[in-house]
Amino acid sequence: MAWLAGLCSVTLRAESIAEVVAIAAGAGLEAIEWGGDVHVPPGDLAVAADARRRSEDAGLRVVSYGSYLSCTPKVGRHVDAALDVTEALGTSMVRVWCPFGVEPGASSSERAEVAEGVAIVAAAAATRQLSVYLEFHGGTLTASVPSTLELLDAVGAANLLTAWQPPYWAPQDLASDRADLAAIGDRLGHLHVYQWDPDGTRHRLATDDGFWPTRLAGAAAAIAGTGAAAAAARPVAPRAALLEFVPDDDPAAVAGEAATLRAWLSALDQEQPRP
């Protein structure tokens, strides 16, 4: 399993599409997720086409559309606009959110409503041969891996995956991180990479004490361990380790963060060569 080194465009919300592309490509990154909040709004196919062209011209692969679809039972009216942009970006994966306020431990009826919303999106995406991945985030049903897996099981869609990021909202040790990644297995979409304190204070990745290299290796092993048959049943875009936010939202910090991430992935590739 080889991760592409990439960037979530929300990391550079204040920059234009052209500037985001220049910064990401200049940092030696391979992939990008275009966000739907600022850079590529849902339904804006002209902007999506421009973002795709600029990305591809710079050698960046668009690996997903970072939409802000909130999966309630009423999500259907908004799905096509997000999926249209996903296709216009030339990618096969779209990120969606579970609604805030319905968290692990919610009532069965609340969980069922979220599952209904997720199922609507997954079904619509499947008709276009697209995959969906859930934002893994505090304050939602995907705030913990057990709750996330329960939701994935309830929906039961082969094209439904989840993101993973270190749960700064509920800090845990490295062994727990690895256990969570192993439990997700081939249902893992992208990794969102950052180095944060529990209060959200951001640090350079270079201050990492070995956690991320271990997480990357664990995630790769978990996906590989599901076997070829399982992998074939879940056709997805190449998975990426995506930088998400940098200290002080400083565009100049991206190059150093990218260099750290690329070094980790290079070391991992030496153990698990790319096909």
The CATH number of the domain holding residue 49 is 3.20.20.150
Range of the domain at 148: 4-271
pLDDT, mean over the chain: 93
Report yes or no: 8 and 242 within 8 Å, Cβ to Cβ: yes
CA distance 6 to 1: 16
The tens digit of pLDDT for each residue in 58-82 reads 999 999 999 999 999 999 999 999 9
β-bridge pairing 240-243 and 93-97: unpaired
The C-alpha torsion from 58 through 29 and 89 to 166, rounded to 10°, is -170
Q: How many domains does the chain have?
A: 1
Q: Token digits for 234?
A: 């879940």
3-state secondary structure of 130: coil
pLDDT in tens, 154-187: 999 999 999 999 999 999 999 999 999 999 999 9
Distances (CA, A) of 46 to 17, 39, 58, 109, 155: 13, 12, 18, 40, 33
pLDDT band, residue 224 (cuts 50/70/90): confident
Question: What is the SS3 assignment for 192?
Answer: strand
Q: Which two tokens stand for residue 228?
A: 């070829």
Question: Which among 89, 154, 75, 82 has a CA at the least distance from the CA of 125?
Answer: 82
Question: pTM of the prediction?
Answer: 0.94
